[in-house]
Amino acid sequence: MSWHGWSVQPSLLYVAIGGLLYWLGDRKYSGGRQEPLRVLSFACGLLTIVLALDSPIDGYSEQLFWVHMAQHILLLTVAPPLILLGEPWPRMWLGLPARWRAATGRALAQAGWTAPIRAIARPIPAFVIYNVNIVVWHLPAAYDLTLTHGWIHDAEHALFFFTGLLFWARVIDPGPLRPRLVWPTRLGYVVGAMIVGWVLAIVLAFEPHAIYPFYAHIAHRPGGLTAHADQTIAAGIMWVPGSAAYGITFLTGLYRWLGTDDQPRRGTPTLTTS
């Protein structure tokens, strides 16, 4: 179902469930103590997902490469950190019925399949998975597959978001992950990921021909853009807006590392809980 470019996708259901669990759990977790900035951050993260996947952005992404790139940036570097700054894990957990929490907790404690999940959540695997995922999906063959097969496109979006959560959880550290990264390591972590995006942007910007056949074969684009101009704008999107979250994190981390904010007040979202 769609109207004026907006549509109802399965992602909207997941966003609604996540928002409901967070709201229910926050009432128990906060105990009357208000943390409006955390709640606002989480809500903005959910709204970013809706904007990326249910707004006209999703429709235009099949006509304009640069819009598609903006959609990826929202799912990789905007929604995940905003959601994590809201400290979602304890709140969403408390949003579940008590009986479910007890049963799920016992099942997770006894399950052997959680070990691989804990392993990929460690700093180096999380960094590698996040960046390899970005590079692989931007290879021409993989990129075109997402535009010609809906289920592959959905899988790409899900992987962008969940690997984004994996990566940004090591930077923001909302808990309960261990080991915790000291700030110098986090700065290198962020800069390394930003460089990967820059390399992709440089390839797109300096390639004289349209890299992706799907977009190269579109006869008419909104705004009358050529395929090469569309690709150049996409490179700029990846380079500048795509670096914004990394840049903000780097500056914040540098500020924290220099010891000017060693004791953040509870209730104010920061890039770490340490």
- Residue-number span of the structural domain to which 92 is assigned: 2-98+117-257
Look at 1 and 151; give whichever has higher pLDDT: 151
Residue 112 lies in a domain: no
* Least confident window among 36-40, 61-65, 174-178: 174-178
Residue 197 has a pLDDT of: 96
Query: What is the DSSP code (8-state) at residue 6?
Result: E
Residue 70 lies in a domain: yes
For the chain, what is the domain count? 1
pLDDT above 90: percentage of residues in the chain: 59
Residue 151 has a pLDDT of: 92
Residue 79 lies in a domain: yes
pLDDT band at 273 (very low <50, low <70, confident <90, very high): very low
Residue 205 has a pLDDT of: 94
In a 13 Å sphere around the CA of 2, the CA atoms on its Cβ side amount to: 13
Checking if the pLDDT of 255 tops 90, the result is: no
Q: How far is 160 from 74, CA to CA, in rounded Å?
A: 10
Residue 57 lies in a domain: yes
Rg (CA), the chain: 20
Residue 8 three-state SS: coil
Q: How far is 216 from 206, CA to CA, in rounded Å?
A: 16
Residue 260 has a pLDDT of: 55
Mean pLDDT of the chain: 87
Residue 108 lies in a domain: no
* Least confident window among 38-52, 98-112, 205-219: 98-112
Residue 105 lies in a domain: no
Dmax (CA) for the chain in angstroms is: 60
Residue 156 lies in a domain: yes
Q: H or E stretch including 3? A: strand 2-3
- For 1-52, what is each residue's pLDDT tens digit? 445 678 878 889 999 999 999 998 988 887 767 688 999 999 999 999 999 9
Residue 265 lies in a domain: no
Checking if the pLDDT of 68 tops 70, the result is: yes
Look at 114 and 73; give whichever has higher pLDDT: 73
Residue 3 has a pLDDT of: 53
Average pLDDT over residues 172-184: 77
